[in-house]
Chain A
């Protein structure tokens, strides 16, 4: 009788322990799955941005060397754009220290911005639009 009671008792303890484990483990497993999912979603969004609007910046609207001829560059000045080692707003110049071309001069009001020079459309890569 006592042996039978002992077996029933052990089985009950084991059942309670298993049920307890299920209650402890299950809730902790669910949030893990939930937190992994947003992380993947965030990674996808980041990849989307880095392959799109936050992709490698090219030279904006002036990514080509400009026209030459009447009213435009000479062939020599166009070639200089390739050879020069510095640029300001994608116009290549001899070296000079950086200064914001849109900054207001001391004592004056800031210019209306942003400045957007006319030029050819931005090029597309892999469905990606480059530019600011």
Chain B
């Protein structure tokens, strides 16, 4: 009889401690979620410093939380702390190698860190599993262009435009890569596609002006730079257009 009482008591103690532990975990997770939710909200409102503090609070409670670590990395990127952001994305990938958003963001962060070879290998890795990812083709093209390989970049942007013909930026980047490789005819055709999709695309007119100048058509170039100046919202681009127009003359 005594043994049964002791056994029941032991079982009660085990069950109670398990319950307490579960409740502790439950409430801790609630606090983690609350910190994380606040951090995401602040991030979306542009308060990256405030968001960072919330993500750090969450990580103090749950250092291995993958989602929080990922969002912490995004926030560090937004604050311009690219190396720290990359470290967070790597930590996520060490925990979960198929965490594709972290892999992709690591590639973007590598571009920001001027590690173009690192970025290329990441986007190529994504494309090996998902060859129709327009986004990966586009960013691979960007990595190629920025690392001084406009010929390679042109091919990647070309695939991006095929996958998503309405993506104006891909047409523009392809045109720019073609311009850099002296394919003025091809660049002009891509710009025609970009400007058809967005007739107020200032950069498109600007690049067209540069092409016209290379072709020796000063008057045509002037017209394009004037359109660029008219449609540009960026004051630097506007000013550069005005200076170029003044240099070209009548």
Contacts and interface: CB of A to CB of B under 8 A. Distances in A.
A71 B41 contact: yes
Contact of A82 (B36, B130, B142): B130
B36 A70 contact: yes
Given A75-B67, A85-B132, A97-B166, A56 B44 contact: no
A75 to B, nearest CB: 7
Contacts of B80: 121, 124
Interface residues of B, number: 70
Given A56-B146, A57-B169, A81-B101, A120 B237 contact: no
A79 interface: yes
A52 B236 CA distance: 9
Contact of A57 (B40, B104, B203): B203
Q: Is the interface of A mostly helix, strand, loop or mixed?
A: loop
Contacts of B227: none
Interface stretch (A11-19, A21-29, A58-66, A104-112): A58-66
Q: What range describes how many residues of A lie at the interface?
A: 35 or more
Interface in A80-110: 81-87, 92, 97-98
Nearest to A65: B101
Interface of A: 38, 41-42, 45-46, 48-50, 52-59, 63-72, 75, 78-79, 81-87, 92, 97-98, 114, 118-121, 123-126, 131-132
